[in-house]
Chains A and B, each alone.
Chain A
Amino acid sequence: MRKKYQCQVMLDVVMVSILLSLMGFHLWSEYVHEWLGAVFFLMVVLHVSWNIHWIQALFQGEYSTFRILQLSINVLLMLLFLSAAISGIMLSRHILPNFIMHNSSDLVRKIHMTSIHWGLVVIALHLGVHWKMLANFFCKIWHISPDSVLVRRILPALLGMVSGYGLYAFIHRGILPYLLLQVDFAFFDFEESKLLVYWDFFAIMMFGAYLTRYLIWLTIFRPQ
């Protein structure tokens, strides 16, 4: 297997862990939140430039339903990411406190909250679209046969349970009002454990990704 691809997957894993830290605004200080945001920004740049061949190939070949879906998810994710980054820069109080664009009005705060929560959802879809690719990768490096009981039965059962919990966390944490622009100020429970925050948002992502993977299989690949 190519070394580069291994590095890419490693980068993706680090990105997920930073993303989970960013979702818990209150886990680390505001100062750390801003720096993590900046690091995440650089990692997205790296992630995109490592996959530049995907952009170069955009105008070649035919467009299947799956490819159209993949392209729309990626474009949407890019837009959400830009809106989260720009509003984040405008809100910054530590890295760019006296930046010319600084604006901490209700509108900018709402844009930031809405775009990161939609961002989380669309990242889960993005993950779901590339699920098969990643699954093949992990099968290879861990020397697991794709037809083994582990892959065919145990893992889906486990992922199903994690996803079920993810749906519960999505409702319990009240993510929907954020998506519908109904929240003025976010709620952070400073008393709860850090681990629970990481686990909840991880499970929410898994729910979105696994559901996407399942729906793609059901609607696009199975009928063929």
Chain B
Amino acid sequence: MKKIIILFLFVAFGSLNAMAEPISNHAQRTLIVYFSQPEEVKLEGVDGVSGASILQKNNQILGSTQYLAQVIQRHTGGELFRIETVIAYPTQHEPLLRYAEQELRDNRHPELKAKIDNLADYDRIFIGYSIWWYKMPMPVYSFLQQHDLSGKILIPFTSHGGSRFSDSLREIKRLQPDAQLITQGLAISREDVADESTVTRVSDWLNQLANVQQ
């Protein structure tokens, strides 16, 4: 009988714990990691213009993915981390295309400037990047290989030139099999990033995510 009572208490507390979990979700410690390589494109000086992978917003020139990361940061209160490489990428469009193609062909994973040491402080990690040649940019591969994101909730977002997430979700799953990958990521065309509606789209998406996770 005693055993049964103990078992019962176990189950009861266990389910209480499970019920309490969504509440703790609100206090999830959030990190927003992104890789953004703005290209040198002439923007016409008016606000809210976007070019190849760059945009002008409130008189600031930002990478498209960088801008998305900032909007997500404002909504979630998370911390930002920019993936940067030791050797800088070309800033002109065609040279960048060629450089990325060669890097892909050689399967080179570029060295990163910095590593995140306090990963234990975060439960939820947004990861943003553009798509280069139907793949994640190589620096994102470097990042995923150098960090162990097991047990974390991974949420992808991209400002793309048409290919949306391409094969990147599959690749993230392959590189971080023990992370919980959210497949309803945010994919916004780089043409639309500068639109006013982007901010609403981001907050709608974040609300949807909160519903999915609960």
**Chain A residues engaging chain B, CB cutoff 8 angstroms:** 26, 93, 97, 104-106, 183-191
Q: Is B162 an interface residue (CB 8 A)?
A: yes
What 1/0 flags go to B158-176 for Cβ under 8 Å of A?
A: 0011111111011000000
B contact residues around A184 at 8 Å (CB): 161-162
Cβ-defined contact, B97 with A106, below 8 A:
yes
Secondary structure at chain A's binding surface: helix, strand, loop or mixed?
Answer: loop
Query: Of the candidates B94, B101, B163, B169, which one forms a contact with A187 in the assembled complex, judged by CB atoms under 8 Å apart?
Result: B163
In the A-B complex, the 7 residue pairs with the smallest Cβ-Cβ separation, listed nearest first, are: A185-B162, A190-B167, A185-B163, A184-B161, A185-B161, A184-B162, A183-B162
- B122: interface (CB < 8 Å): no
A185–B97 contact, CB under 8 A?
no
Does any Cβ of A come within 8 Å of B26's Cβ? Answer: no
A33 to B: closest C-beta gap in Å: 11
Cβ contact of A93, chosen from B93, B105, B160, B165, cutoff 8 A = B105
Most A CB within 10 A of own CB, among B94, B134, B170? B134
Contact check, A186 vs B162: say whether CB atoms are below 8 A apart: yes
Q: How many residues of B contact A (CB 8 A)?
A: 19
Q: Give every chain A residue within 8 A of B31 (Cβ-Cβ).
A: none
A190 to B97: give the CA distance in the assembly, Å. 22
Given A105-B97, A185-B131, is A191 in contact with B169 using a C-beta cutoff of 8 Å? yes
Quick one: CB contact mask for B87-113 with A, threshold 8 Å, 1 for yes?
Answer: 000000110011001000100000000
Whether A104 contacts B98 in the complex (CB less than 8 A), given A26-B134, A97-B105, comes out as: yes
Contact status of A104 and B134, CB under 8 A, knowing A185-B161, A186-B162 = no
Q: Which A residues lie within 8 Å of B97 (CB)?
A: 104-106
